[in-house]
Amino acid sequence: METDSRHTMGDRMLRKEDGRFIRGKGNYVDDVRLPSMLHSAILRSPFAHARINNIDTSAALELEGVHAVITGEDLAAQGLAWMPTLAGDTQAVLATDKVRFQGQEVAFVVADDKYVAQDALELIDVDYEPLEVIVDSRKALEEGAPIIRDDKEGKEDNRIFSWDAGDKEATQRAFERAEVTVSQDMFYPRCHPAPMETCGAVADYDVSTGKMTLHMTSQAPHAHRTLFAMVSGLPEHQIRIISPDIGGGFGNKVPIYPGYVCAAVASLILGQPVKWMESRSDNLMSTSFARDYHMTGEIAATSDGEILGVRSTILADHGAFDAHAQPGEQYPTGFFPIFTSCYDVPAAYAAATGVYSNKAPGGIAYRCSFRVTEAIYLMERTMDVLADELEMDPVELRRKNFVKKEQMPYVSVMGWEYDGGDYDAGLDEALRIAGYEELLEEQKKAREEGRIMGIGFSTFTEIVGAGPGKKCHIAGIEMFDSAELRLHPTGKAILKLGVKSQGQGHETTFAQIVAGELGIPAENVEVREGDTDNTPFGLGTYASRSTPVCGAATAIVSRKVREKGKKIAAHMLEASAEDMEWTGERFQVKGSPDRGATMEEVSFAAYTNVPDGEEAGLEGVTYYDPPEMTYPFGAYICVVEIDRGTGQVEVKRFIAVDDCGVRINPMIVEGQMHGGLASGIGTALMEVIEFDEEGNHLNSSFMDYLMLTSMEAPSYELGEIVTPSTHHPLGARGVAESPTVGSPPAVVNAVVDALSPYGVRHLDMPLTPARVWAALRENGVDA
Amino acid sequence: MQVPARFDYEVAASVEEAIRLLERHGPEARLLAGGHSLIPMMKLRLAFPETLIDIHELDGELRYIREEDGALEIGALARHQDVLDSEVVRERYPILWDAETMIADPLVRNMGTVGGSLAHGDPAEDLPAAFMALGCEVVARGPGGERTIPIDELQTGPFETVLDPAEIIVGARILRAPQGSAYTKVKRRTGDYASAAIGVALNISDGEIRDAGIGMCAVGGQTLRARGAEEILEGQRPNMELYKRAGERAAEESEPSEDARGPVEYKRDLVKVLVVRALEKAVERAGGGA
Ligand SMILES: Cc1cc2nc3c(=O)[nH]c(=O)nc-3n(C[C@H](O)[C@H](O)[C@H](O)COP(=O)(O)OP(=O)(O)OC[C@H]3O[C@@H](n4cnc5c(N)ncnc54)[C@H](O)[C@@H]3O)c2cc1C
C-alpha cells in the first residue's frame, strides 16, 4: 500500500473505500447484528387486485419462534396503515381494504430467525376476492375500468394527474407552417434499478431512552428521518438513521418502503431490535420501478432539417400508488421538460397524463435526474425518425440544430438555463474516436456482404444537481446540501456530508476536493456520511446531485476554513492578513516566498497559538443552495451487428464522449461511465418488467430480469471534453447518470439504422433476439 | 435473501452409503451434487425436499474424465469446468467443449456437475442434448446394482427421469468419438438458459455423412432427438441444401412452447438456423467432406 502518496483534486486516486470493500469488510445493513435482534418476513399478495375479506394469523402465531404477526388492521389502530409518498399520494403500509398489485405487503411476521419468519408466512390464511385488473395503462382511463384507488374519497377514475408545459399555440403554429413533420409512438418499458443490495433496515427502539435507531438502506437519511418523524409522531431528535455502506441505490433507495415502517413499528411494540431484509424477488416485485412511459414524439422542421417545433405526449403509469420521485409537486413528470435537450428549438410543448394501474408503485429516477432518461430517449429517437424522413445524415441533422457555444449560457424554450457547453466539440470528438468515415465504409461493405450493421447516435444534455431550493424540494424541504469540515491539530481532517454514497466513491472524491482547496493530501481527509446524529442535514444522493450541490458545499466550507487559516498564518508569520496569499499549497507572505505556512502548520497553531480575538479550532459548516442546476452533456455512438439468423444484437463498439465539467477524479468518472453504459445498454437490449393479463409479475428473479454482463458489454471507448460549469465553484457537473440517459437511444438508433434498408423505422425496447428476429422476418429478411 | 423451507441434511461418504441413505429417507430425499439447480429451486420454494444427501465428498469415486477402450467416461461429479478443461474433450468431443463454454458462467461451472445435469431432467439443460447427439449411456447404481440407461430413455418428461428414487447416476459413457461434432446455442444473455440449442455429432466416410446424431435443447418438454433430420443426412454428401432440409425437418420435430424467450415460430426458426450452423461446423471439424 502506498503510504506517503499525496493525492489531490484531479488525480486518478484509487478509491479509499475499496480497501474494505475488496476485503469483504464493508458494513451493510444486513451485516448489522444487535443483541436479541429478531428477524422478519413480509407476506405479499399473490393477486394484482383483490378485496381482502379476512386475514387469519392464528396458525402463524402458534409456530414456535414467532413473536408477532402484524396486519394492516393492527397498524390502522395506530394510524399507520397508510403512509405518505414522496409524490404527495398515500400508500398502504400493510393492506387493509384491498391489495392493488401483486407483491403488495399484507402482513409482517417477526420471528427468532428469517427461516421461521418465512415458514410462518405460509401459515397465514388470507381470504381474497379477486377483482378485475389493469396492467395496460392505455386501458386505465377507459369507461368502466375498475377504480383502483377507491380508498380516496370521491375518486371515480384512475387518473393521477394531467399536466402540460410549454407554448401549445406557438408549437401548433410551427407544425402548421413546417415543410416536414414526423411523429413516432414509442414505449419506454418498465425497468428496475435492481441494486445488488436489496432494501432493508434494522430498527432498534430503546425502551429506556425512547430513542429509535434505524440502520437503513437510505440514499437520503436526513430527509427520511424528517419524514419518519412527521409520520410516526416520534420526536425528530429521538430518531437516528444510520445508512451504513450501501450496495447500490440508483434511485431504488430514495422512497420509504412499508418494510422500514413495519420494522420500526415491530421494534416499538416488542422493545427488541428487528431486522427486515428484502429478498431479490421482494425487491424486484414491490420496490420502485422506473419508466413505463408511453410517448409520442413529434418534430416540425424545414426541408433542410432546421427544427421549428417539438411536441411530446406522455401516458405515465405510476402503478398502484403514486410513489414516483419528483423534486416538488410542480414536476409530475420530473425534469421531462428538458426534452428539447441540446437543440436550439424555438417552440416546444409537452402534455402528460398519469394513471394508476395494478402494478408496483413508483416511477422513480433510476439512475437519472427525474425522467430525463425518458425525455432524451424521446428526442433522440424522434431525431432519427426525422433524419430518415429527410434522408439526411443523423450527424448533420443534429449538428445543424445544436445550441452553439456562443449562445451559452443558453435559456431553453422550456425555461432551463444551461451552464455552458460546447455540443459541436463533443460530437467532433466522438466522431474522431469512432473514425466515422471509415465506419460508414465498413457499413457499406457489410451491407454488400449481407451482414446487418448499424451505427447509432445520441447527443444530449442532462440536467442534474437539484436544487436550487426555490425550485426543488422534497416534502417542502429545499434541496440544498451541506458539508462540515474540521481540521485537527496535526492537520488531519474530518469532513461530514449531508449526502450518502452508495458506491459512487464519495470518500475519495470529496477528500480530493478538500485536498485541492487546502493543500493537504486527500489521504488525510476522512469523509463521513449517512448518520443523522453525526452529519449535517442534507437531502441525500440521487439524481447526480452530490458533486453539483454537496461538492460545491465542500469547496466552499474548505475556503471558509482557509479564510480563518489565513488569519492564523498571518499571526504565525507576524504579517497582516491582507499581506497573505494562498499559493495552492500554502500561505505565503506576499513578496517573501521564504515566509510561509502550510495548512498542517496552521492547524497546529489553531489549537496552540491563536491570535487575540480569534476562537481556537479550525472548522466550518456550509449549507449550499445552487443558483441553477448543472447540464452535463454527451455525444455517444453505438455500433451494432445483428445476427440475421437469430436476431441477436451484438454491440460491437460504444463511444461515449462526456463533458461533466472539471473532473475531480477522472478514474472514478470513467468507472461511473462504465456502470452507466452497462445499465443503459442493458435497458435497450434486455431489462424489462412485464406482467401477464392477470397482473402476475414475470421478472421476479435475476433469471428473468436480465441485466447486462461483462460478456455482452463492448470495450467502451470513452472521451472527454471539459467546459467548466459557469456557476459551480469547482466548475464541476454531475456525471454518473449521463451514460444511462444517453446510451439507450444510441443503441436503439443503431439497431434501427441496421434494419433501415429493410424499411424499419422504429422498434421498442428491449431489443431482445425474439423482437429483432420478428422485425427481420416481417420485413422479408431470411437467415 | 431467499430462504428455503426446512430440510434435514446428511453427508454420504461413499456411493453405497448414498444409496442406503436414499433408501432410508424415502422418495422425498434428494441427492445434493453441485446444488446449482436444486438450491435455487429450494430458495424460490419450488422444491421442498425433506432430506438432502450431500455427495460432494465422493469426488474420489465420481470425479473423473477418462478414456477406456476408446470410450469416454465422465464421472457424475465431474464439474462443468472439468469438462471444459479436459484435453480429450477439446480434441475429440468438441461438442461438449462448445456446450460447456455456453453453460452459465464460471461460478456455476465450478460447482455444477455432469451427473446433476443429467439427473435433473431439465429440458433446458445443455449437456443432455449434447450427450444425445453423441449417443451416450448413463450408468446408474441403486439398491439392486448397476444398470445402463441409453440417453434417449433417461428423461420421461419435464424434470422427470427413469431413475428410481434410490438410484444414483455414477457416470456417462460415450462409446466412440465422432469424427465431427458441434454445439450451437442462442441465449438472451450470458448465464441465461437456452432459447434453443442444437448439438450435432457425425462421421463421414467416402464423403458421405454417417451416424448423424442431433440433440435439441429447450424446444420441448424434454430433451429431443431429431430423428427425421438425422435420417435425411444419412448417406448424403454434405452441402448447404442438405443442411437446410435437415434444419427444416428438425424444426418440424421440435415442440417448443412460448415463453419470455420468444414465441413458438421464433424457436422453430432458431432450430432451423442452429441445425445448419452446427452441421457446417461439425462437418468442417470432421475434415470437410463437401
Ligand atoms: C445461474 C445459472 C445458470 C445456469 N445456466 C445453465 C445453462 O445455460 N445450461 C445448463 O445446462 N445448465 C445451466 N445451469 C445449471 C447448472 O449447469 C447446474 O449446476 C447443473 O445443471 C446441475 O448440476 P448440479 O450438480 O448443480 O445439480 P444439483 O442441483 O445438485 O442437483 C440437481 C438434481 O439432480 C439430482 N442429482 C444430482 N446429482 C445426481 C446423481 N449423481 N445421481 C442422481 N441424481 C442426482 C439432485 O438430487 C437434484 O434433484 C445454470 C445454473 C445456474 C444457477
Mind listing the pLDDT tens digit for each residue in A34-54? 999 999 999 999 999 999 999
Evaluate if residue A1 carries a pLDDT over 70. no
Q: Is the pLDDT of residue A389 over 70?
A: yes
Cα–Cα distance between A588 and B136 in angstroms, integer? 84
Return the active site residues of A.
219, 367-368, 737
CA A136 – CA A190 distance, rounded (Å): 11
- Residues A717-753: pLDDT tens digits? 999 999 999 999 999 999 989 999 999 999 999 999 9
Nearest to A518 by CA among A368, A618, A412: A618
| 3-state class (DSSP) for residue A355 | strand
pLDDT of A2 over the 50 cut: no
pLDDT band of A195, cuts 50, 70, 90: very high
Query: For residue A257, what is its C-alpha cell?
Result: 418502503
A256: buried, middle or exposed (CB in 10 Å: 19+, 13-18, 0-12)? buried
**Residue A445: burial class (beta carbons within 10 Å; 0-12, 13-18, 19+):** exposed
A515: how many CB neighbours lie within 10 A of its CB? 26
Residue A90, burial from CB neighbour count under 10 angstroms (0-12, 13-18, 19+): middle
Using CB atoms within 10 A of its CB, is residue A709 exposed (0-12), middle (13-18) or buried (19+)?
Answer: middle
Nearest CA-CA partner of A309 in A181, A142, A487: A181
Mean pLDDT across A547-561: 98
Those residues with Cβ within 8 angstroms of residue A552's Cβ, 6 or more apart along the chain or in another chain: A624, A626, A728, A729, A730
Residue A721 dihedral angles phi and psi, to the nearest 5°? -130, 155
In the CATH scheme, what is the code of domain B180-284?
3.30.390.50
Single pTM value for the model = 0.97
Please list every residue in chain A whose beta carbon sits closer than 8 Å to the beta carbon of residue B192. 703, 706
Contact A507, A668 (CB under 8 A): no
For residue A99, the one-letter residue type is: V
Element of type H or E holding B19: helix B15-25
Q: Does ligand 1 have an atom closer than 6 angstroms to the CB of B83?
A: no
A230 to chain B, any CB pair closer than 8 A? The answer is: no
Helix (H, G, I), strand (E, B) or coil at A374: helix
pLDDT of residue A4: 56
Q: Which residues on chain A are in Cβ contact (under 8 Å) with B273? A: 645-646, 783
pLDDT tens per residue, range A71-107 = 999 999 999 999 999 999 999 999 999 999 999 999 9
Under a CB-based contact definition with an 8 Å cutoff, are residues A356 and A161 in contact? no
Residue of B6, B192, B270 with shortest CB distance to A706: B192
> B59-174: which CATH architecture?
2-Layer Sandwich (3.30)
Query: Do A18-25+481-624 and A372-410+417-464+629-778 show the same overall fold?
Result: yes
Which of A590, A596, A607, A591 has its CA nearest to residue A573?
A596
Which pLDDT value is given to residue A166?
98
Does the N-terminal peptide bond of residue A766 adopt cis geometry, omega within 30 degrees of 0?
A: yes
Please tell me the distance in Å from A713's CA to the nearest CA on chain B: 11
For chain A, what are the domain ranges?
Answer: 18-25+481-624, 35-131+197-247+253-286, 372-410+417-464+629-778
SS (H, E, C) B79-122: EHHHHHHCHHHHHHCHHHHHHHHCCCCHHHHHHCEHHHHHHCCC
Backbone angles phi, psi at B76, to 5 degrees: -60, -30
Write down the pLDDT at residue B289: 55
What are the strands, taking DSSP E only, across A357-403?
A: none
Q: Does position A491 have pLDDT exceeding 70, yes or no?
A: yes
Q: Please name the residue whose Cα sits nearest to atom 44 of ligand 1.
A: B119
Instruction: State in Å: Cα B36 to ligand 1 middle.
Output: 5
Does the distance separating the beta carbons of B273 and A280 come in below 8 Å? no
CATH number attached to the domain at B8-57: 3.30.43.10
Query: What distance in Å separates residue A708's CA from the closest CA in chain B?
Result: 7
Q: Considering only CB atoms, which chain B residues are within 8 Å of A770? A: 195, 261-263, 266
- Cell numbers at residue A552, please? 460545491
A126-131 average pLDDT score: 98
Which CATH entry fits the domain spanning A372-410+417-464+629-778: 3.40.50.300, 3.40.50.1820, 1.10.3720.10, 3.30.365.10?
Answer: 3.30.365.10
Domain positions in chain B:
8-57, 59-174, 180-284
Q: Which long-range contacts (CB under 8 A, 24 or more apart) does A139-146 make?
A: A140/A317, A140/A355, A140/A356, A140/A357, A141/A353, A141/A355, A146/A49
**ipTM here:** 0.96
CATH number of A18-25+481-624: 3.30.365.10
What is the tens place of the pLDDT at every residue in A331-388?
Answer: 999 999 999 999 999 999 999 999 999 999 999 999 988 999 999 999 999 999 999 9
Element (H, E) at A742: helix A738-755
- Disruptive mutation site among A115, A646, A701, A704 for chain B (greatest number of B CBs within 10 Å): A646
| Residue A685 Cα, gap to closest chain B Cα (Å) | 9
Half-sphere exposure (Cβ direction) of B175: Cα atoms closer than 13 Å: 8
Are residues A565 and A526 in contact, defined by beta-carbon separation less than 8 angstroms? no
Tens digit of pLDDT at every position of chain B (290 positions)? 789 999 999 999 999 999 999 999 999 999 999 999 999 999 989 999 999 999 999 999 999 999 999 999 999 999 999 999 999 999 999 999 999 999 999 999 999 999 999 999 999 999 999 999 999 999 999 999 999 999 999 999 999 999 999 999 999 999 999 999 999 999 999 999 999 999 999 999 999 999 999 999 999 999 999 999 999 999 999 999 999 999 999 999 999 999 999 999 999 999 999 999 999 999 999 997 54
Residue of B28, B37, B107, B183 best suited for mutating to test ligand 1, as the one with most atoms within 8 Å of CB:
B37
A35-131+197-247+253-286 falls under which CATH superfamily?
A: Aldehyde oxidase/xanthine dehydrogenase, a/b hammerhead (3.90.1170.50)
Task: Give the integer Cα–Cα distance in Å for A184 and A6.
Answer: 54
Domains B8-57 and B180-284 share a fold: no
Distance B122 CA to ligand 1 centre (A): 9
Tens of pLDDT, residues A196-252: 999 999 999 999 999 999 999 999 999 999 999 998 889 999 999 999 999 999 999
Q: Which letter, b or e, does each residue of B109-139 get, where b requires 16 or more Cβ atoms within 10 Å of its Cβ?
A: bebbbbbbbbbbbbbbbbbbbbbbbbbbbbb
Rounded to whole angstroms, the Cα distance separating A420 from A239 reads 42
